[in-house]
Amino acid sequence: MTIKDTPEEWEIRATVTPFVGNKTSVRTDDVVMPDGTVVHRDYQVHPGSVAILALDEQDRVLLIKQYRHPVRQKLWEIPAGLLDIPGENPLHAAQRELYEEAHVKAEDWRVLTDVYTTPGGCSEAIRIFLARNLSEAEGQRFEVEDEEADMEHARVPLDDLVRGVLAGELHNNCLAVGVLALVAARHGDGVDALRPAEAPWPARPFES
């Protein structure tokens, strides 16, 4: 048996969108189960996101610390952002986010992993990139606002982040998944075996 996720879509008898926000919405679908019963499924409709594990030559990961109101915490995270331009190439979005949030550019990009954040209640799909060969970006820094205006920045050794994730001290999903995926890649076929930066992404098809 091949262990691989597969596309499938059950019949939807009716759908309503009781809430539409600035970037996301909430939808209720009446879904037909395999036994013929119809159930309500509420979920958040999300455009998708990209995240960047930016690794410098000293094996340190570039982090930002940002207030996240739903969980009432300031979390250490890797740079990330929404795919809020339909059909946008996720690599281009990731390069933009790395510039805007950290004023950094990278020469080497690879796909680290693709994940669904909360598939039981949200359609968000995230592509996490590994970015290496870092340097300071040119031009003026991007003007930040709202929660981003209070961001802190740090470069932290990869090994310290692994310990922090396993100790329950770091909780951001992209940080945890990205750090552990990088360690797994190094202990497996190596970083050079990772998918290229423009590898297909069925969850969020994009233009080249």
CA-closest candidate to residue 181, choices 134, 133, 129: 129
Q: What's the CA gap between 56 and 58, in Å, rounded? A: 5
Q: What is the pLDDT of residue 84?
A: 85
Q: What is the pLDDT of residue 179?
A: 98
The DSSP letter of residue 170 is: -
Whether 107 is catalytic is no
Opening angle at CA 88, ends 82 and 89, nearest 5: 100
pLDDT, tens digit (0-9, with 9 covering 90-100), for 106-148:
999 999 999 999 999 999 999 999 999 999 988 766 665 655 6
Cβ(127)–Cβ(51) below 8 Å: yes
Q: What is the pLDDT of residue 142?
A: 60
Q: What is the pLDDT of residue 56?
A: 97
Q: Which residues of the chain have pLDDT under 70?
A: 140-149, 208
- Cα–Cα separations (whole angstroms), residue 31 to 26, 35, 167, 183, 203: 15, 11, 40, 39, 20
Spot the catalytic one: 77, 148, 169, 198. Answer: 148
Cβ(183)–Cβ(158) below 8 Å: yes
